[in-house]
Structure 1
Amino acid sequence: MAGSTARSSTRRGSTARGRTGRTGTPRSRTGRGAGAVAALACAALLLAACGSTGSPGAAASGGGPAKKDGKVGVILPLLTSPFWQSYNDYVPKMAKSGGVDALKTVNSNSDPAQQITDMNNQLNQGVAGIVVAPLDSAAIAAGLQQAERKNVPVVAVDVAPEKGKVAMVVRADNVAYGEKACDYLGQKVKKGKVVQIMGDLASVNGRDRSTAFRDCARKKYPDLKVLEIPAKWESDTAAAKLDTLLGAHPDIKGIYLQAGGVYLAPTLQTLKSKKLLFPAGDERHIAIISNDGIPQEFDAIRRGDIDATVSQPADAYAKYGMYYIKAAMAGKTFEPGPTDHDSTIVKTPSGNLEDQLPAPLVTKENVDDPKLWGNTIK
């Protein structure tokens, strides 16, 4: 859930928008924050010298040949979201079915510096591979550099790194998330004020979704007025800012939640407290589309509290994270193009490959589909 001037994970290549919303280099953790994280990484890893981040194609050195088998470290960004809780549950199952000897997952607790320390700890334990969901797509370069020095392959899940080498990025197309949300609200609302509750704009996911939604609305739905809440994947921040915004704009017609796992509950509670929560079909209903595909969103769709969500594939993230790390440890490489699992591998501007997994739109018409991962967990 992190930044540079390019969307580092999609087939579209335009300038990213930073925290201020102005076009240009975003105010992300790429500067002082990333430097501080890198400095902490140096202190944490005394056995290796920390230099500048190498290019994605830089040759590894000092670690000997990559291991064809061995233990795999799995590092989570956080466990406060139902989405990541579900991913965490899938990891051991997918590792077992994929023949991967995965260690118990490590939770970085939403701290990018801790995530680098976690990677270094795994490397010092002698893991043969790492699967990590980066918290900050710039700061993660420090950990990737150490892995490359030790010839330990890394697969990134959910977030594409801006710099540093990974064997594969396993991720859905986050630009498509924003566009799907825009199209859904554009067709539902047609005219009026809509708000997108954004993620962390230091995250490529937050930027991709935000920019895509904004651009789509401007180009295709000029009668929509887009308001924005930068909430940094924080539920308390989302609730407080939405409460303030609704006080100033009680005539909101639609809401886009960029992460249902953290924004769904506070959004519904805030609407309820403002006496603005009405079921779908009521003329006073505020149309809501979310992202994640967690069971709680499905229940909210069934109740009529929200209208739709884009199902981010937690099961496939775990499955193909294990698949690609096993392949990388065996020395297998891939090329851009369609896969055998209904996705497409693309080359990112950073030079890494990304498997863009499908993420279906879920509405009341298909919310009970047993194939959706949100319907397969308890």
Structure 2
Amino acid sequence: MKRSIAPPAAVGGTILLLSGTLTGCGASPAASPLAPSSAIGIDVPRADSDFWKAYARYLEQDIAAQHLNVLPLTHSDGDTTKFTANIRALAAQRPRAVVMAPQDTTATIGLLDELLAKHISTVSVDTAPESGSTYMVVRTDNRSYGTKACEFLGRQLHGRGKVAELQGALESINGYERSQGFSYCMRTEFPGIQVIELPTDWKGDVAATRLRSTLATDPDLNGIYLQAGGVFLQPTLALLREKGLLKPAGQSGHISIVSNDGISQEYDAIRRGDIDATVSQPADLYAKYALSYAQAAAEGRTFQVGPTDHDSTIVLLPGGLEDQLPAPLVTRDNVNDPTLWANQPGT
């Protein structure tokens, strides 16, 4: 189901109207150890990108550090059928909360209602389910990813040229929101830039094939937006290298590239001058706060819209609340910042 690209202004207005004082975060008593009947179920969405591999490592670290009682982790490998089966298998063990990251956000239709009927709270990471109620969604403002990429590329290209946009799956909330933010910004702020949209379904081989075709028909391409560096970075750089088009930033003929994810490979590419920037998606904070909210759900704690004590904002969704975590733009100027998760030891 392809989404229409519309201005995001209404969403921002809703956030402003709903902003209030946060309760629960930082104000609740210290968490007590979970009883065996209050275990947390966790489904890891995929392992085919460096970002999700990092997320899984942070989960394991935080589970141990917080001494959480969790059921054996399940892995859905990006497969919708497997995801549904895994969540139902976890639910059968009666955890108090389940942490999930549905890659197809329509896959939760009916599923969340099943969990709610069993008094199981859900925390959704990175994506907001299309239907049903969640205790908390832990993600970033994905429209801002597209907007930040647009603004950076627009300035780099001085408002003129052609940009290929390697989109994710447009039935995915992240894919269409990133596309929405990018498209709206380009239309309104940089009308002199032509955007060539290339849907990829989050597949690196599809991205490489479509970019190859675009380079053949549009040899004057001077910008690329990668909606997922963990999947698209290596195929894109390999193709440009093959075509003799991988020229470092600052050199004549350089194709300006902005990515999304914030993995260490992107940082290395920025340092080499292969790409110009990325938006850092916080794999470490996704794991930390997904588990924190799951534990809070097991303890019956509640939250309200507004700013949190961890530099984010909780907003209201039709199905519950969403904690929008910060996602900084990383360029040559700040790529060595030791606070960025991909610069942490062991990542």
Does residue 1:12 correspond to 2:29, yes or no? no
Q: For 1:276-355, what aligned pairs fall within 5 Å after superposition?
A: 276-348=245-317, 350-355=318-323
Q: Structure 2 CA distance, aligned partners of 1:290 and 1:164?
A: 31
Q: CA deviation at 1:10?
A: 9.5
2:194 paired residue number: 225
Do the aligned partners of residues 334 and 314 (structure 1) sit closer, same or farther apart at CA in structure 2, a change above 3 Å counting?
same
Give TM-score scaled by structure 2 length. 0.89
- 125, 131, 149: which one aligns with 1:181: 149
Q: Which secondary structure state, in structure 2, belongs to the residue aligned with residue 252 of structure 1?
A: coil
- 172, 179, 186: which one aligns with 1:203: 172
Q: Which runs of 4+ in 1 moved over 6 A?
A: 2-7
Q: For 1:116-265, what aligned pairs fall within 5 Å after superposition?
A: 116-190=84-158, 191-265=160-234
Do the aligned partners of residues 375 and 13 (structure 1) sit closer, same or farther apart at CA in structure 2, a change above 3 Å counting?
closer
Q: CA deviation at 1:13?
A: 7.3
Do the aligned partners of residues 3 and 244 (structure 1) sit closer, same or farther apart at CA in structure 2, a change above 3 Å counting?
closer
- In the alignment of these two chains, the number of paired residues is 324
Conserved? CA contact 2:5–2:176, under 8 Å? no
Q: Structure 2 CA distance, aligned partners of 1:299 and 1:102?
A: 35
* TM-superposition CA deviations, 1:31-90 (whole Å, max 9, x none): xxxxxxxxxxxxxxxxxxxxxxxxxxxxxxxxxxxx896221111221000000000000
Do the aligned partners of residues 267 and 368 (structure 1) sit closer, same or farther apart at CA in structure 2, a change above 3 Å counting?
same
Do the aligned partners of residues 169 and 68 (structure 1) sit closer, same or farther apart at CA in structure 2, a change above 3 Å counting?
farther
Q: For 1:38-187, what aligned pairs fall within 5 Å after superposition?
A: 70-187=38-155
Q: CA deviation at 1:177?
A: 0.3
Q: Please, which runs of 5 or more residues in structure 2 have no aligned partner?
A: 14-34
Q: CA deviation at 1:6?
A: 9.8
Tell me how large the CA RMSD over aligned residues is: 2.1
Do the aligned partners of residues 223 and 6 (structure 1) sit closer, same or farther apart at CA in structure 2, a change above 3 Å counting?
closer
1:273 paired residue number: 242
Q: CA deviation at 1:274?
A: 1.3
Give TM-score scaled by structure 1 length. 0.82
1:58 paired residue number: none
% identical equivalent positions = 46
Conserved? CA contact 1:11–1:346, under 8 Å? no
Q: CA deviation at 1:102?
A: 2.4
Q: Which secondary structure state, in structure 2, belongs to the residue aligned with residue 101 of structure 1?
A: coil
Conserved? CA contact 1:134–1:156, under 8 Å? yes
Counterpart AA for 1:277: L
Q: Structure 2 CA distance, aligned partners of 1:149 and 1:80?
A: 33
1:55 paired residue number: none
Q: Structure 2 CA distance, aligned partners of 1:199 and 1:4?
A: 12
Q: CA deviation at 1:188?
A: 0.2
Conserved? CA contact 1:4–1:162, under 8 Å? no
